[in-house]
Amino acid sequence: MQSRVSLIGASGYAGVELTKLLVAHPGVELVAASSDRWVGDVLAARVGVASELRYVAVDEALAATADVVLLATPAEVSHELVPKLRGKVIDLSGAFRLRDGARYSQHYNLVHAHPALLAEAVYGLPELFRERVRGARLVANPGCYATAIQLALAPVLPLLAPGRLIVDAMSGVTGAGRKATEEMSFAEVAGDLRAYRVLRHQHEPEIEQGLSDVAKRDVDITFVPHLLPINRGILATCHAQLAPNRSPAEVIDAFARAYAHEPFISLAPSAEQVALHDVVGTNRCRIGAMVGASGELVVTAAIDNLVKGAAGQAVQNLNLMLGLDEQAGLAGLRSFYP
Protein backbone atom coordinates (compact mmCIF):
# COMPACT_ATOMS: atom_id res chain seq x y z
CA MET A 1 0.00 0.00 0.00
CA GLN A 2 1.31 3.43 -0.93
CA SER A 3 1.84 6.05 1.76
CA ARG A 4 -0.06 9.31 1.34
CA VAL A 5 1.94 12.54 1.16
CA SER A 6 1.01 16.17 0.72
CA LEU A 7 3.22 18.99 -0.51
CA ILE A 8 2.96 22.61 0.62
CA GLY A 9 4.72 25.12 -1.63
CA ALA A 10 4.65 23.18 -4.88
CA SER A 11 5.39 26.01 -7.31
CA GLY A 12 8.90 27.05 -6.23
CA TYR A 13 11.92 25.47 -7.89
CA ALA A 14 12.36 22.89 -5.12
CA GLY A 15 8.59 22.35 -4.99
CA VAL A 16 8.41 21.66 -8.73
CA GLU A 17 11.31 19.22 -8.48
CA LEU A 18 9.66 17.52 -5.52
CA THR A 19 6.35 17.28 -7.37
CA LYS A 20 8.02 15.41 -10.23
CA LEU A 21 9.76 13.00 -7.85
CA LEU A 22 6.68 12.30 -5.75
CA VAL A 23 4.35 11.69 -8.70
CA ALA A 24 6.79 9.14 -10.13
CA HIS A 25 7.62 7.52 -6.75
CA PRO A 26 6.43 3.88 -6.60
CA GLY A 27 5.91 3.89 -2.84
CA VAL A 28 3.89 7.06 -2.25
CA GLU A 29 0.75 8.78 -3.47
CA LEU A 30 0.73 12.57 -3.75
CA VAL A 31 -2.72 13.47 -2.46
CA ALA A 32 -2.42 17.28 -2.29
CA ALA A 33 -0.14 19.97 -3.68
CA SER A 34 -0.57 23.60 -2.71
CA SER A 35 0.27 26.71 -4.69
CA ASP A 36 -1.55 29.96 -4.07
CA ARG A 37 -0.79 31.26 -7.55
CA TRP A 38 -1.64 28.03 -9.39
CA VAL A 39 -4.84 27.09 -7.52
CA GLY A 40 -7.15 25.10 -9.79
CA ASP A 41 -4.52 24.31 -12.41
CA VAL A 42 -3.71 20.67 -13.19
CA LEU A 43 -0.23 19.50 -12.19
CA ALA A 44 0.24 17.92 -15.61
CA ALA A 45 -0.25 21.26 -17.35
CA ARG A 46 2.16 23.14 -15.11
CA VAL A 47 5.08 20.73 -14.64
CA GLY A 48 4.52 17.97 -17.17
CA VAL A 49 3.85 15.11 -14.76
CA ALA A 50 1.41 12.24 -15.27
CA SER A 51 -1.16 13.47 -12.77
CA GLU A 52 -4.62 14.97 -13.04
CA LEU A 53 -4.35 16.32 -9.48
CA ARG A 54 -5.11 20.04 -9.20
CA TYR A 55 -3.24 22.59 -7.13
CA VAL A 56 -5.12 23.73 -4.04
CA ALA A 57 -4.75 26.45 -1.44
CA VAL A 58 -2.59 25.80 1.61
CA ASP A 59 -5.52 25.23 3.99
CA GLU A 60 -7.01 22.56 1.74
CA ALA A 61 -3.66 20.78 1.39
CA LEU A 62 -3.17 20.86 5.16
CA ALA A 63 -6.62 19.32 5.63
CA ALA A 64 -5.81 16.35 3.39
CA THR A 65 -5.20 13.05 5.17
CA ALA A 66 -1.51 12.34 4.71
CA ASP A 67 1.14 10.19 6.34
CA VAL A 68 3.81 12.82 5.71
CA VAL A 69 3.60 16.54 4.92
CA LEU A 70 6.50 18.08 2.98
CA LEU A 71 7.04 21.83 3.24
CA ALA A 72 8.84 23.54 0.34
CA THR A 73 8.14 26.93 1.86
CA PRO A 74 10.24 29.90 3.06
CA ALA A 75 11.60 29.65 6.60
CA GLU A 76 9.13 32.13 8.04
CA VAL A 77 6.20 30.16 6.58
CA SER A 78 7.50 26.82 7.85
CA HIS A 79 8.06 28.42 11.26
CA GLU A 80 4.32 29.09 11.44
CA LEU A 81 3.06 25.87 9.83
CA VAL A 82 5.10 23.16 11.56
CA PRO A 83 3.59 23.75 15.04
CA LYS A 84 0.13 23.15 13.53
CA LEU A 85 1.07 19.75 12.13
CA ARG A 86 0.81 16.63 14.29
CA GLY A 87 2.03 13.94 11.90
CA LYS A 88 5.36 13.40 10.20
CA VAL A 89 6.88 16.47 8.56
CA ILE A 90 9.85 17.14 6.28
CA ASP A 91 10.72 20.83 6.10
CA LEU A 92 12.92 21.95 3.23
CA SER A 93 13.50 25.41 4.71
CA GLY A 94 15.99 26.38 7.37
CA ALA A 95 13.35 27.01 10.03
CA PHE A 96 14.28 23.99 12.17
CA ARG A 97 17.87 23.19 11.18
CA LEU A 98 19.64 25.02 14.02
CA ARG A 99 19.41 23.85 17.61
CA ASP A 100 20.29 27.31 18.97
CA GLY A 101 17.18 29.45 18.49
CA ALA A 102 19.13 32.64 19.16
CA ARG A 103 21.00 32.26 15.87
CA TYR A 104 17.82 32.67 13.80
CA SER A 105 17.61 36.40 14.30
CA GLN A 106 21.08 36.82 12.81
CA HIS A 107 20.94 34.32 9.96
CA TYR A 108 17.23 34.16 9.05
CA ASN A 109 15.91 37.50 10.31
CA LEU A 110 13.48 35.42 12.37
CA VAL A 111 12.69 35.41 16.08
CA HIS A 112 12.25 31.70 16.71
CA ALA A 113 9.27 30.95 18.93
CA HIS A 114 9.39 27.14 19.08
CA PRO A 115 12.39 25.88 21.07
CA ALA A 116 10.72 22.53 21.79
CA LEU A 117 10.43 21.84 18.07
CA LEU A 118 14.07 22.82 17.53
CA ALA A 119 14.99 20.21 20.12
CA GLU A 120 12.75 17.61 18.45
CA ALA A 121 13.83 18.22 14.86
CA VAL A 122 16.30 15.80 13.28
CA TYR A 123 18.81 17.15 10.79
CA GLY A 124 18.23 15.07 7.68
CA LEU A 125 21.60 14.45 6.05
CA PRO A 126 21.25 10.66 5.66
CA GLU A 127 24.88 9.81 4.92
CA LEU A 128 25.88 11.30 8.29
CA PHE A 129 22.76 10.93 10.46
CA ARG A 130 20.71 8.14 8.87
CA GLU A 131 19.64 6.36 12.04
CA ARG A 132 18.30 9.57 13.57
CA VAL A 133 16.12 10.15 10.51
CA ARG A 134 14.51 6.70 10.60
CA GLY A 135 12.64 7.38 13.82
CA ALA A 136 12.02 11.09 13.37
CA ARG A 137 8.69 12.90 13.30
CA LEU A 138 10.12 16.24 12.17
CA VAL A 139 13.06 16.28 9.73
CA ALA A 140 14.88 19.48 8.83
CA ASN A 141 16.10 18.95 5.27
CA PRO A 142 19.65 20.34 4.91
CA GLY A 143 20.58 23.35 2.83
CA CYS A 144 22.18 22.81 -0.56
CA TYR A 145 25.59 24.32 0.19
CA ALA A 146 25.55 22.63 3.58
CA THR A 147 24.98 19.22 2.00
CA ALA A 148 27.94 19.44 -0.39
CA ILE A 149 30.33 20.91 2.18
CA GLN A 150 29.54 18.53 5.02
CA LEU A 151 29.78 15.47 2.79
CA ALA A 152 33.12 16.75 1.50
CA LEU A 153 34.67 17.33 4.92
CA ALA A 154 33.06 14.91 7.39
CA PRO A 155 35.23 11.83 6.62
CA VAL A 156 38.56 13.67 6.99
CA LEU A 157 37.84 15.66 10.17
CA PRO A 158 39.89 13.26 12.36
CA LEU A 159 42.90 13.80 10.07
CA LEU A 160 42.99 17.60 10.19
CA ALA A 161 45.20 19.97 12.12
CA PRO A 162 43.38 22.37 14.47
CA GLY A 163 42.20 25.55 12.81
CA ARG A 164 39.49 27.18 10.77
CA LEU A 165 38.36 25.49 7.56
CA ILE A 166 37.99 27.58 4.40
CA VAL A 167 35.29 26.89 1.82
CA ASP A 168 34.53 28.60 -1.49
CA ALA A 169 31.40 27.38 -3.23
CA MET A 170 29.50 28.30 -6.37
CA SER A 171 25.81 27.79 -7.10
CA GLY A 172 23.48 28.15 -10.05
CA VAL A 173 20.78 30.80 -9.82
CA THR A 174 17.97 28.40 -8.87
CA GLY A 175 19.59 28.23 -5.45
CA ALA A 176 18.22 31.72 -4.77
CA GLY A 177 14.63 30.58 -5.28
CA ARG A 178 11.96 31.49 -7.79
CA LYS A 179 11.68 35.24 -7.40
CA ALA A 180 11.68 38.19 -9.77
CA THR A 181 14.34 40.66 -8.66
CA GLU A 182 16.67 42.93 -10.60
CA GLU A 183 19.82 41.28 -9.26
CA MET A 184 18.62 37.85 -10.41
CA SER A 185 17.51 38.95 -13.88
CA PHE A 186 19.22 37.50 -16.96
CA ALA A 187 21.05 40.70 -17.86
CA GLU A 188 22.53 40.98 -14.35
CA VAL A 189 23.59 37.33 -14.00
CA ALA A 190 24.65 36.23 -17.49
CA GLY A 191 28.39 36.41 -18.12
CA ASP A 192 29.12 37.42 -14.53
CA LEU A 193 30.49 35.79 -11.38
CA ARG A 194 30.27 37.30 -7.91
CA ALA A 195 30.48 36.48 -4.23
CA TYR A 196 27.41 37.18 -2.11
CA ARG A 197 26.35 37.04 1.54
CA VAL A 198 30.04 36.87 2.49
CA LEU A 199 30.54 35.89 6.17
CA ARG A 200 26.78 35.97 6.75
CA HIS A 201 25.25 33.15 4.71
CA GLN A 202 22.49 31.27 6.52
CA HIS A 203 24.08 27.88 5.82
CA GLU A 204 27.29 28.65 7.71
CA PRO A 205 25.98 27.88 11.24
CA GLU A 206 24.27 24.78 9.91
CA ILE A 207 27.55 23.52 8.44
CA GLU A 208 29.46 24.20 11.65
CA GLN A 209 26.77 22.48 13.73
CA GLY A 210 26.77 19.34 11.57
CA LEU A 211 30.55 19.03 11.31
CA SER A 212 30.91 19.63 15.05
CA ASP A 213 28.44 16.80 15.68
CA VAL A 214 30.51 14.47 13.50
CA ALA A 215 33.87 15.55 14.95
CA LYS A 216 32.58 15.72 18.55
CA ARG A 217 34.40 19.04 18.90
CA ASP A 218 33.85 22.59 17.70
CA VAL A 219 34.50 23.07 14.00
CA ASP A 220 34.76 26.59 12.60
CA ILE A 221 34.56 27.50 8.92
CA THR A 222 34.86 30.56 6.73
CA PHE A 223 32.37 30.13 3.92
CA VAL A 224 32.18 32.31 0.81
CA PRO A 225 29.36 31.54 -1.67
CA HIS A 226 29.41 32.67 -5.30
CA LEU A 227 26.66 32.97 -7.88
CA LEU A 228 27.26 31.13 -11.16
CA PRO A 229 25.42 32.20 -14.35
CA ILE A 230 23.91 28.72 -14.82
CA ASN A 231 20.56 27.23 -13.87
CA ARG A 232 21.55 24.57 -11.36
CA GLY A 233 24.42 22.82 -9.63
CA ILE A 234 26.86 23.50 -6.79
CA LEU A 235 30.62 23.07 -6.75
CA ALA A 236 32.29 23.45 -3.35
CA THR A 237 36.05 23.73 -2.87
CA CYS A 238 37.16 23.04 0.71
CA HIS A 239 40.63 23.90 2.05
CA ALA A 240 42.23 22.36 5.16
CA GLN A 241 45.60 21.29 6.59
CA LEU A 242 46.39 17.71 7.51
CA ALA A 243 47.71 17.09 11.00
CA PRO A 244 51.44 16.19 11.24
CA ASN A 245 52.28 12.65 10.15
CA ARG A 246 48.98 12.20 8.29
CA SER A 247 49.30 10.95 4.72
CA PRO A 248 47.42 11.16 1.41
CA ALA A 249 46.76 7.43 1.70
CA GLU A 250 44.85 8.04 4.92
CA VAL A 251 42.69 10.61 3.18
CA ILE A 252 41.83 8.17 0.41
CA ASP A 253 41.10 5.46 2.97
CA ALA A 254 38.88 7.78 5.05
CA PHE A 255 36.63 8.54 2.10
CA ALA A 256 36.54 4.90 0.99
CA ARG A 257 35.55 3.69 4.44
CA ALA A 258 32.95 6.43 4.96
CA TYR A 259 31.21 6.12 1.60
CA ALA A 260 31.88 2.60 0.33
CA HIS A 261 28.23 1.61 0.71
CA GLU A 262 26.57 4.96 0.04
CA PRO A 263 24.47 4.76 -3.15
CA PHE A 264 24.41 8.52 -3.68
CA ILE A 265 28.12 9.25 -3.13
CA SER A 266 30.57 8.97 -6.03
CA LEU A 267 34.30 9.28 -5.33
CA ALA A 268 36.53 10.83 -7.98
CA PRO A 269 40.25 10.03 -8.39
CA SER A 270 41.16 13.65 -7.66
CA ALA A 271 39.72 17.07 -6.83
CA GLU A 272 40.15 18.04 -10.48
CA GLN A 273 37.81 15.31 -11.66
CA VAL A 274 34.66 16.62 -10.03
CA ALA A 275 32.25 18.47 -12.32
CA LEU A 276 28.64 19.61 -12.36
CA HIS A 277 28.03 17.50 -15.47
CA ASP A 278 28.56 14.44 -13.27
CA VAL A 279 25.63 15.21 -10.98
CA VAL A 280 23.09 17.69 -12.37
CA GLY A 281 19.77 15.88 -12.66
CA THR A 282 20.72 13.22 -10.10
CA ASN A 283 20.68 12.74 -6.33
CA ARG A 284 24.44 12.05 -6.31
CA CYS A 285 27.28 13.91 -4.64
CA ARG A 286 30.63 13.63 -6.43
CA ILE A 287 33.71 14.12 -4.22
CA GLY A 288 37.42 14.29 -4.97
CA ALA A 289 40.47 15.17 -2.88
CA MET A 290 44.14 16.08 -3.35
CA VAL A 291 46.97 16.55 -0.83
CA GLY A 292 49.93 18.86 -1.45
CA ALA A 293 53.56 18.40 -0.44
CA SER A 294 53.09 20.41 2.76
CA GLY A 295 49.95 18.56 3.82
CA GLU A 296 47.49 21.06 2.40
CA LEU A 297 44.20 19.31 1.59
CA VAL A 298 41.72 20.36 -1.09
CA VAL A 299 38.38 18.57 -1.34
CA THR A 300 35.86 19.35 -4.07
CA ALA A 301 32.22 18.27 -4.07
CA ALA A 302 29.47 18.71 -6.65
CA ILE A 303 25.71 18.26 -6.31
CA ASP A 304 22.53 19.35 -8.03
CA ASN A 305 21.20 22.02 -5.68
CA LEU A 306 17.58 21.14 -6.50
CA VAL A 307 17.95 17.36 -6.14
CA LYS A 308 20.55 16.22 -3.60
CA GLY A 309 20.52 19.79 -2.28
CA ALA A 310 16.74 19.91 -1.80
CA ALA A 311 13.99 17.72 -3.31
CA GLY A 312 15.96 14.52 -3.86
CA GLN A 313 17.31 14.58 -0.34
CA ALA A 314 13.78 15.18 0.96
CA VAL A 315 12.67 12.01 -0.85
CA GLN A 316 15.68 10.16 0.57
CA ASN A 317 14.55 11.25 4.05
CA LEU A 318 10.94 10.37 3.23
CA ASN A 319 12.01 6.84 2.30
CA LEU A 320 13.85 6.44 5.60
CA MET A 321 10.92 7.75 7.63
CA LEU A 322 8.49 5.38 5.88
CA GLY A 323 10.76 2.33 6.01
CA LEU A 324 11.12 2.19 2.22
CA ASP A 325 14.20 1.44 0.17
CA GLU A 326 16.32 4.58 0.47
CA GLN A 327 16.80 4.72 -3.30
CA ALA A 328 13.08 4.47 -4.11
CA GLY A 329 12.06 7.16 -6.57
CA LEU A 330 15.67 8.28 -6.98
CA ALA A 331 17.69 5.43 -8.45
CA GLY A 332 16.58 6.06 -12.02
CA LEU A 333 17.61 9.72 -12.16
CA ARG A 334 20.36 10.48 -14.67
CA SER A 335 22.68 13.35 -15.42
CA PHE A 336 21.44 15.95 -17.87
CA TYR A 337 24.80 15.68 -19.69
CA PRO A 338 25.43 14.82 -22.44
Say what the pLDDT of residue 22 is.
98
Active site residue 285: no
Whether residue 334 is contained in a domain is answered as no
Model's pTM, two decimal places?
0.96
Q: Are residues 269 and 154 in the same domain?
A: yes
CA 80, CA 83: separation in Å to the nearest integer? 6
Residue-wise burial string across 51-69, b where 16 or more C-beta atoms lie within 10 A, e elsewhere = bebbbbebeebbebebbbb
In this prediction, residues 63-85 reach a mean pLDDT of 97
Does the structure show a pLDDT above 80 at 179? Answer: no
Nearest to 164 by CA among 195, 203, 200, 204: 204
Q: What is the CATH number of the domain that holds 66?
A: 3.40.50.720
- The band of 178, judged by pLDDT with boundaries at 50, 70 and 90, is confident
Q: Are residues 134 and 155 in the same domain?
A: no
Same domain? 22 vs 129? yes
Q: Which domain holds residue 318?
A: 3-142+308-322
User: Cα–Cα distance between 327 and 338 in angstroms, integer?
Assistant: 23
**Cα radius of gyration rounded to whole Å, the chain:** 19
What span, in angstroms and rounded, lies between the C-alpha atoms of 70 and 174? 19
The domain total for the chain is 2
How confident is the prediction for the chain on average, in pLDDT? 96
* In-domain check, residue 333: no
Is the domain of 163 the same as that of 285? Answer: yes
Spot the catalytic one: 68, 138, 144, 156. 144
**pLDDT of the residue at 338:** 78
